[in-house]
Amino acid sequence: MICGYLGPQGSYSYLALTEGFPEMTPEACDTFSEIIEKVDTGAIAAGLLPVENSTEGAVTAVMDSLLTLQHGAIQAEVIYTVCHHLFMAEKDEAAMNTAYSHPQAIEQCRHFFRTHYPGVKLVPCESTSTACLLAKEAGNGTAAIASRWAGLHHGLKPVRGNIQDNRFNQTRFVLLGTGTPQPTGNDKTAIAFSFHRDTAGNLYEILKIFAEANVNLTRIESRPAKMELGQYVFFIDFEGHQQEPAIGAILEKLRLLTRTFIIFGSFPRAQRVLGED
């Protein structure tokens, strides 16, 4: 089964995919929206996407792209411990003037650079593994923030290890595919919705439905609806599976109260944390 991920090889998406789903054949993609589109059209069977990080919060590009999802559904989730390292083509710290990485990784290491390399310019690029290719190509003075695996795989020299600002740095990924996995008794459901009008108590009414059914929410986020200032799309993850009658009843009530209403899927909760070395 082919599974798309944010490439090239060595990105955290790649590491989470190969450790979490070793039976899949990884296919490198350039963007998160490309992965979603390919799953939706059936060009690939599955895709792995980072959705949130314990330090930096939501991966907003993924959330926005998920709103376009048509046929795909979340099948599973994995949690990966992200441990960043600093690499250069030649180990020459004094010459370092630029460091490339994915925007999420840059934010996860910002304090480290302010403290240790305040003069180094942090430049965002498509992924942490693209950063390795850029550092290799540019050579002198250019560094990459990436996993140890990626840096060594792309032939770079390690400069500093464990540079993330927070020792506890985990990213949660979801596996997109098609169909709905069977309930396991320990599942989560992910949805998004918007409201018809901006009126008092909208969100309260939704939260009350969950509270009265005694259903625990595991995540709540909002993103701009990108239509008008003050209009939002809400993303909620909660415990339970859409095929359980109590959860099905909640979803029906929500559908009546909302404008856009998307069920991203019901899937088993992550059982263990990957990437611990």
Ligand X SMILES: O=C(O)C(=O)C[C@]1(C(=O)O)C=C[C@@H](O)C=C1
Instruction: Give the Cα separation of 226 and 62 in Å (integer).
Output: 15
**Stretch touching ligand X by CB under 6 A, among 7-15, 39-47, 201-209, 250-258:** 7-15
Assess 164 for contact with ligand X (CB under 6 A): no
Assess 81 for contact with ligand X (CB under 6 A): no
| Nearer of residues 127 and 189 to ligand X, judged by Cβ | 127
Interaction with ligand X in 118-147: which residues (CB under 6 A)?
127-129
E strand map for the chain: 2-6, 25-29, 46-53, 57-58, 73-81, 85-88, 98-101, 121-124, 142-146, 157-160, 170-177, 187-193, 217-224, 232-239, 261-268, 273-274
Query: Does residue 8 have a cis bond before it (omega within 30 degrees)?
Result: yes
Instruction: Give the Cα separation of 173 and 273 in Å (integer).
Output: 11
Binding residues for ligand X, rule CB under 6 A, total 15
| Nearer of residues 55 and 266 to ligand X, judged by Cβ | 55
Is residue 140 within 8 A of residue 119, CB to CB? The reply is no
For residue 112, give the DSSP letter: H
Interaction with ligand X in 44-63: which residues (CB under 6 A)?
50, 53, 59
For ligand X, the binding residue among 65, 104, 142, 202 (CB under 6 A) is 104
Residues 237-256 as x/- pattern, contact with ligand X by CB under 6 A:
--------------------
Least separation in angstroms between CB 249 and ligand X? 35
Least separation in angstroms between CB 145 and ligand X? 9
Residues 83-102 as x/- pattern, contact with ligand X by CB under 6 A:
-------------------x
For ligand X, the binding residue among 82, 145, 191, 263 (CB under 6 A) is 82
Structure tokens at 261: 């209403």
Is residue 202 within 8 A of residue 195, CB to CB? The reply is yes
| Nearer of residues 6 and 24 to ligand X, judged by Cβ | 6
| Nearer of residues 170 and 243 to ligand X, judged by Cβ | 170
| Nearer of residues 105 and 133 to ligand X, judged by Cβ | 105
Least separation in angstroms between CB 1 and ligand X? 20
Is residue 26 within 8 A of residue 14, CB to CB? The reply is yes
Instruction: Give the Cα separation of 110 and 112 in Å (integer).
Output: 5
Q: Of 182, 185, 188, 239, which is closest to residue 210 (Cα–Cα)?
A: 239
For ligand X, the binding residue among 3, 4, 11, 134 (CB under 6 A) is 11
List phi, psi (to 5°) of 179.
Answer: 85, 170
Distances, alpha carbon 44 to alpha carbons 213, 233, 253, in Å: 38, 28, 34
What is the residue whose two structure tokens read 């999802």? 69
| Nearer of residues 223 and 253 to ligand X, judged by Cβ | 223
Assess 13 for contact with ligand X (CB under 6 A): yes
Judged by the rule CB under 6 A, the positions of this chain that interact with ligand X are 6, 11-13, 50, 53, 59, 82, 102, 104-105, 127-129, 171
